[in-house]
Structure 1
Amino acid sequence: MGHNATDRRASLLVWGALGIVYVVWGSTYLGIGIAIESIPPMLSGAIRFLIASALLAGFLVMRSGLSVLRMTWREFRGAAVVGVLLLTLGNGMLAVAEQYVSTGLAALLVASVPLWLVVFRFVVRDRPKVLTLAGVLVGLGGVAMLSLTGGEDAGTVGIVVVLLASVSWAIGSFLSARIAMPANAFAASTVEMFVGGLGLLLLGSGLGERLDPSAVTGRSWLALAYLILLGSLVGFTAFSWLLGNAPISLVATYAYVNPAVAVGLGALVLGEPVTTQILVGGAIILVGVALVISTERKPRQAAEPGGVPAEPAEPSHEPDGEPAGPPAVRLHADSALD
C-alpha cells in the first residue's frame, strides 16, 4: 500500500512538472509578444535575463553558498558563448521577429531546432539513423511550407529572422555538449542568462533601442514579470527536476506540445489568425520532430508500477527553459527559444 502510494505521488509530480513545462514554455511566445508591444524587443530580453540571472544566483548562494558558483575560466567562457548564441542572438532575434509574425507562427518555426541539430551532426560526420534523416526532411518540408505560404500576417523578414534565431539556438545547443561547461546546470544557466542579457543590452542600445518607462503599458510590465518569474525560473526549475526524475523520451514531448500551446494562446488571447497553411505546415514540422525524437530515443527499462518508465535522464545545461533538441542530440530547453 505504502509503495503504491509513493509511486502514485511520484507519477503525479512528474506529470505536474511536465504540465508546467508544457503550458509555461508554450506561453512564453505570447508573453514576448505582449511585452514587446511597448518595450523594445532586445531591451525586454535584457531586463528579463539579467533579473532572472540575479534571482537564480541569489537563490543558489542562499541554498548552497558561494562555492556553487565557482568554475574555471574555461567553463565560464563556454557558458558565456552558449549564452550569447542562445539568448543574445537566438532569443533576441525571436523577440525582434515577433514584431512581424504571429506568436504561433514563430513557435512553429522555432520547433525546427531539433531538425537543425541533426543537420549539424551530419555535417560533423556523426551519422544519424535513416529514420532520423527522414524526420529531418519531413520537418524541413513543413518549414519550407510555412516560409513560402506562412500566414496572412507573416512578413518575409520576420520568417527569415525566426529561422536565423532557430539556427543560432541550435548551434548553441550543439556546442554546449562539446565544450567545457560548469558542472552545475543551475550555475551554468546563471552565467548564460547574465552574459546573454548583457549582450542583449549592448546590442539593443547599439542599435538605437531606448526604454521609456512612461510609455510602457501595465500589460507589458505584467508580461515581462511573467517571463522572468514563470518562464525563466519556474519553468526551468520544473524542467531541471524532470531531467533527474523522468524519462528523457517523456520530457522531450515538450518539443511538439509547446508550439501547439503557443498557437492556441495566440489565437485566443491576441486573436491571431490560424490559417490552413499554418495548421498543415505546423503539423508537418511536428511530425518530423516527433519522428526524430522517437527514432533517436534509445531503448530503456520497463515502466515502474507508478506509470513512469524507469529511464534515467541525461544532464543538460539549459539557459532558462526554452525548447530545442531531441534527447540523444542533447535535450535543451527557452523554449523555448522563448
Structure 2
Amino acid sequence: MKRRPSNFIFFQMVCVSVIWGGTFIAGRVIQPEIPPLLSATVRFLFASISLVLVIILGRLGWKRINKRQLWQIMLLGASGVFIYQILFFYGLQIIPASRAALLVAINPAMIAFISFLLWQEKVSLKKGAGITLCVVGAIILLSDKAPSSDVFMVSKGDLAILGCVVSWGIYTVTGKNVIKEIGALHTVTYAVLFGTLLLIVTSLCLDITLDTVSLFSLKDLVSLGYLGILGSAIAYVWYYQGVSQLGAAGAGAFIALNPLSAVIVGTLFLNEQISTVIFIGGILIVFGILIANKK
C-alpha cells in the first residue's frame, strides 16, 4: 500500500477529530424515546451500505482472510461497533455532549495502557506523566455536580461513556496487525459488517417493533446519516489509516481535539453550559494527552 505524505495524514486526522466531535452533538439531538440499541443499529446500517458501495463501485474486490484475521475482525466489530455504540447512545441520553466528549478525550491514555498490557509497550516518564494528568482531569470532570443536585456524583451516563473509552482502546490496539495485512478500508468494512450483524440480531431478539421504528423523525434520520456515513464509514477508515502510519498512540492523540469541536458546537446549537469544573478537567485531559504523545 502506497504511503501517504505525513502532512496529508495529519490533516486527515484533524478532519476525523472534527467529524467525531460533531457525532456527540448528532447523537445528543436524537429523541430520548428512541432506544440506544435501535439508534446504533440504524447508524451502522448507513455505515455498512456506504462501505460496501465504496468497495463495489471502486472495484476494490473482497480480500480473503484467514482464521486468525477473522477472530480479530470479530473482536473489532464487537468492541468498536456493537459495545461502543450501545454505550455511546445510552450515555448521550443522560449527560451533555460536551461532558461526554471530554470523557472520551482520555482515550489516548487508555490506548497506551492497553498497548502496554497486550504488547508490553513501555511507558516513558513523559508518557506516564501525561496519562496521570488525564486521569486527574477525568476525576475532576466526574466530580462536577449534577444540574439539579448539590451532591457530587458519577451518573450512569458517565459510566457508559467510560465504557466507550475502554471499548475504543481495545478496537484501536487489536486492529494494528489486520490493518497492515489487508488495509484499513477492508478491515473497517468487515468489522462494521460483523458489528452491524450483532446489532440487528440483538434488536430482533429484544423485540424492537415497527412501532418503535416509526418514532424516527427526519431530524433523527439526518443525524443518524451523519453518524453512519461521516462518523463511521469515512472517519473509521481514515482513523485506521492514521493508526497504520502514526501508530496507535500517535493516531489516538488526535482524539484530544474531539472535545474542542464538541464543546463549541454543543454550546452554539444545544445551549449547553460549560461549568468551571468541566473546563478545568478538560484542560488537564488535553494537556495530559499532548504530553503523553509528544515525541
TM-score (norm 1): 0.73
Which of 35, 38, 54 is matched with 1:40 structurally? Answer: 35
Q: Is the 8 A contact 2:48 2:233 kept in 1?
A: no
Evaluate the alpha carbon distance shift between residue 235 and residue 175 of structure 1 in structure 2; reply closer, same or farther with a 3 A threshold: closer
Aligned partner of 2:293: which letter? I
Superposed CA offset, 1:247-306 (max 9, x none):
999866532211111111112111112111111111111111111111xx4xxxxxxxxx
Partners of 1:172 and 1:14 lie apart in 2 by 20
Q: Is the 8 A contact 1:116 1:170 kept in 2?
A: yes
Superposed CA offset, 1:155-214 (max 9, x none):
611111111221122122222236798512111111111111222233344456545333
The percent identity for this pair of structures is 24
Higher relative contact order (CA 8 A, sep 6+): 2
Please name the residue that 1:324 is paired with.
Answer: none
Instruction: Give the superposition deviation at 1:127.
Output: 2.2
Instruction: Give the superposition deviation at 1:149.
Output: 2.0
Please name the residue that 1:286 is paired with.
Answer: 286
Evaluate the alpha carbon distance shift between residue 76 and residue 233 of structure 1 in structure 2; reply closer, same or farther with a 3 A threshold: same
Q: Is the 8 A contact 1:108 1:259 kept in 2?
A: yes
Instruction: Give the superposition deviation at 1:14.
Output: 6.4
Evaluate the alpha carbon distance shift between residue 208 and residue 34 of structure 1 in structure 2; reply closer, same or farther with a 3 A threshold: farther
Partners of 1:172 and 1:246 lie apart in 2 by 16
Partners of 1:73 and 1:199 lie apart in 2 by 19
Evaluate the alpha carbon distance shift between residue 106 and residue 89 of structure 1 in structure 2; reply closer, same or farther with a 3 A threshold: same
Q: Secondary structure at the match of 1:64?
A: coil
Evaluate the alpha carbon distance shift between residue 88 and residue 140 of structure 1 in structure 2; reply closer, same or farther with a 3 A threshold: same
Evaluate the alpha carbon distance shift between residue 109 and residue 61 of structure 1 in structure 2; reply closer, same or farther with a 3 A threshold: same
Instruction: Give the superposition deviation at 1:221.
Output: 1.1
Q: Is the 8 A contact 1:14 1:242 kept in 2?
A: yes
Instruction: Give the superposition deviation at 1:97.
Output: 0.8
Partners of 1:106 and 1:53 lie apart in 2 by 25
Which of 41, 49, 71 is matched with 1:77 structurally? Answer: 71
Please name the residue that 2:168 is paired with.
Answer: 169
Moved more, 119-128 or 271-280: 119-128
Q: Secondary structure at the match of 1:128?
A: coil
Instruction: Give the superposition deviation at 1:51.
Output: 2.9
Determine if the alignment matches structure 1 residue 105 to structure 2 residue 105.
no
Please name the residue that 1:59 is paired with.
Answer: 54
TM-score (norm 2): 0.83
Evaluate the alpha carbon distance shift between residue 253 and residue 121 of structure 1 in structure 2; reply closer, same or farther with a 3 A threshold: closer
Evaluate the alpha carbon distance shift between residue 207 and residue 97 of structure 1 in structure 2; reply closer, same or farther with a 3 A threshold: farther
Question: Which ranges of structure 2 fall in alignment gaps of 5 or more residues?
Answer: none
Aligned partner of 1:282: which letter? G
Instruction: Give the superposition deviation at 1:79.
Output: 0.9
1:78-97 map, 5 Å:
78-97=72-91
Evaluate the alpha carbon distance shift between residue 172 and residue 231 of structure 1 in structure 2; reply closer, same or farther with a 3 A threshold: closer
1:1-338 map, 5 Å:
17=12, 20-66=15-61, 68-123=62-117, 125-149=120-144, 152=147, 156-177=155-176, 183-207=182-206, 209-210=208-209, 212-236=212-236, 239=239, 254-294=254-294, 297=295
Instruction: Give the superposition deviation at 1:93.
Output: 0.5
Partners of 2:175 and 2:115 lie apart in 1 by 13
Partners of 2:14 and 2:168 lie apart in 1 by 24
Superposed CA offset, 1:48-100 (max 9, x none):
2133123212221332353x332223312211111111111122211111111
